[in-house]
Structure formats: C-alpha cells, structure tokens
Copies of this chain bind each other. A is one copy, B any other.
Amino acid sequence: MTLKQSYGIGELAREFDVTTRTIRFYEDQGLLTPRRRGQTRIYSPADRVALKLILRGKRLGFSLAESGDLIRLYQPTGDNRQQLGALLEKIEEKRTQLQQQLVDIQIMQQDLDAAEERARQALKELEESDV
C-alpha cells in the first residue's frame, strides 16, 4: 500500500491533534484548499503536508501568515525574474531567522544545564543535612 490520497477533516484532526474548527480556520486564512464532495471537504496529501508545515511553524512561534509564506515557497509557481528574486530573498530571510533560533536554543539549553546543576546541588545538600 502506497500513500492515502485523500483525507477527511476528522481524520486529519485526530492525526495531528487539532480541532476541526482549527482546520477550517486555516482554510479561511487561505492556508488549506480542500476540494469538495457535495459540501464535505476532501483533503489532498498536499493539504496534509501544508497542515504539517503549519503546525511545525507554530512550534517555532511562526504566525499563520508566516507559515502561509512558507507554504507558498513550496508551491511551484510559474514565476518571472522579479518574483523569483523576491522569493530568494524571503528564503534567505527565513534562513537568518532559523539561525537566530538555533543560537537561542543553544543558550537556553545551557541555562537549563546550569539550573539543573544548581537544583541537584541543593538536593544533595538537603540529603546530607538530614542523616
């Protein structure tokens, strides 16, 4: 069995642990574009990938608008030089941002190391004082 090629809204909601309201909201914001069977939404694998990207973005503090940008970076658009240039700029910009986040994470990890060390030390001293 290869990939499923369509998904229901509840199905996606369960898989990614979000509400259907959230998924519809993302469509409202133009981030998802399911087709319809009757009035029921049918999601493509591309929609599923987009949703994944949105949630990944959220974990990094991206706004929905920013995730929208990322999604569009991904869609092969028959573009002219102008647009392609702007696109390359956006990519570079995001790259810089991710770099900064990497630095931030490293500093925080060091902070956590220090905090843990102090906590363990405090615990140790408690142990030693009540024989």
Contact = CB atoms under 8 A, between A and B. Distances in A.
Nearest to A107: B56
Interface in A82-131: 84, 87-88, 91, 94-95, 98, 100-102, 104-105, 107-109, 111-112, 115-116, 118-120, 122-123, 126
A1 interface: no
A60 B73 CA distance: 22
Contact of A88 (B61, B81, B94, B116): B116
Interface residues of A, number: 39
Interface string A42-75: 0000000000010010111110000000100110
A53 to B, nearest CB: 8
Q: Determine how many copies of this chain the complex contains.
A: 2
Given A59-B104, A101-B60, A105-B60, A112 B91 contact: yes
A120 to B, nearest CB: 8
A119 B79 CA distance: 9
A115 B95 contact: no
A76 interface: yes
A91 B126 CA distance: 20
Nearest to A86: B119
